[in-house]
């Protein structure tokens, strides 16, 4: 006799409550909800984008290993005589409708366009440029290519094999790592330095002083005309002190030294 439909209330009710709460917040206070969501995404991308990349690569390697491993890959989840509750066509329909239809069909187009126009959170490069188009496509391939299915497979293996405690312990360990690294400054805000020099000698002296005073110096543009030389560079500060700008302005032949904050899209 077949068993009727069973619901795990301990799993369904909390998740359903969270889903309903998030939906209500998005309807009642959409602007505040979007601001918080953007802040969370920006923080995660700016601080832990590297960790996401590493985890993705590790999961792909694990899935390939499980696929070709005779010792692990041939293990039947549920026991040697266990039979699947649904046919392959049922599983294919579920994967098609839940993973591909709702994900790839929509976000496969919407995501690269959004990233091209607005830029990718955590990157200095703004939207609308050639590099933003390259970043948008490469990110789309990462999100909706093999890495996506590596996440699906890894989670499926954990749930199917009943390794829920392992998943919980792993989540706790990852959370501790995130907290530890959150206290480290691994992402410095970029700045734009604009120098106006009257001649080449003044330019060389200003460049030498600027490179010595900052952690990173990258020339973005240089304009030479009858009135002199205008140099624009992206810099990363060693510390919050900006006294080096005063020193640059005091150099002979330097008529102007301007420092502005920069987020890849606009200067403020």
For residue 153, give every residue at least 6 positions away whose Cβ sits within 8 Å of its Cβ, in sequence order, or none.
59, 63, 66
Stretches where the chain sits below pLDDT 70 are: 1-5, 99, 121-127, 160-164, 166-168, 171, 174-175, 177-189, 262-268
The rounded distance, in Å, linking the Cα atoms of 236 and 259 is 11
- Beta-ladder partners of 254: 197
Q: Among 3.30.70.260, 3.30.590.10, 3.40.50.150, 3.40.50.1370, what is the CATH number of 190-261?
A: 3.30.70.260
pLDDT at 24: 92
What are the structural domain ranges in the chain? 12-74+86-182, 190-261
pTM of the predicted model, to two decimals? Answer: 0.51
pLDDT digits 0-9 by tens, 40-81: 777 777 777 777 788 888 888 888 888 888 777 777 777 778
The rounded distance, in Å, linking the Cα atoms of 245 and 227 is 21
Contacts 24+ apart (CB under 8 A), 180-186: 181/47, 181/48, 181/51, 182/47, 186/47
Structure-block tokens of residue 106: 């929509």
pLDDT at 254: 92
């Amino acid at each position: 006799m077949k068993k009727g439909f069973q619901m795990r209330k301990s799993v369904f009710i909390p998740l359903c409550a969270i889903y309903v709460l998030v939906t209500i917040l998005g309807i009642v206070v959409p602007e505040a909800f979007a601001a918080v969501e953007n802040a969370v995404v920006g923080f995660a991308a700016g601080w832990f984008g590297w960790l996401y990349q590493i985890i993705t690569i590790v999961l792909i390697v694990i899935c390939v290993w499980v696929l070709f491993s005779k010792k692990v890959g041939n293990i039947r989840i549920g026991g040697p005589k266990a039979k699947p509750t649904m046919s392959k066509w049922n599983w294919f329909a579920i994967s098609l409708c839940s993973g591909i239809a709702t994900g790839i069909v929509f976000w496969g187009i919407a995501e690269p366009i959004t990233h091209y126009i607005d830029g990718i959170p955590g990157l200095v490069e703004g939207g609308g440029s050639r590099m933003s188009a390259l970043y948008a496509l490469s990110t789309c391939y990462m999100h909706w290519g093999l890495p996506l299915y590596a996440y699906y497979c890894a989670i499926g293996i954990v749930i199917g094999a009943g390794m829920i405690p392992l998943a919980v312990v792993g989540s706790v360990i990852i959370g501790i790592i995130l907290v530890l690294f959150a206290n480290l400054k691994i992402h410095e805000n970029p700045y734009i330095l604009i120098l106006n020099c009257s001649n080449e000698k003044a330019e060389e002296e200003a460049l030498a002083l600027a490179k010595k005073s900052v952690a990173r110096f990258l020339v973005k543009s240089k304009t030479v005309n009858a009135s002199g030389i205008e140099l624009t560079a992206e810099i990363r500060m060693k510390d919050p002190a900006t006294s080096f700008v005063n020193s640059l302005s005091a150099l002979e032949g330097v008529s102007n030294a301007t420092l502005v904050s920069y987020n890849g899209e606009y200067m403020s």
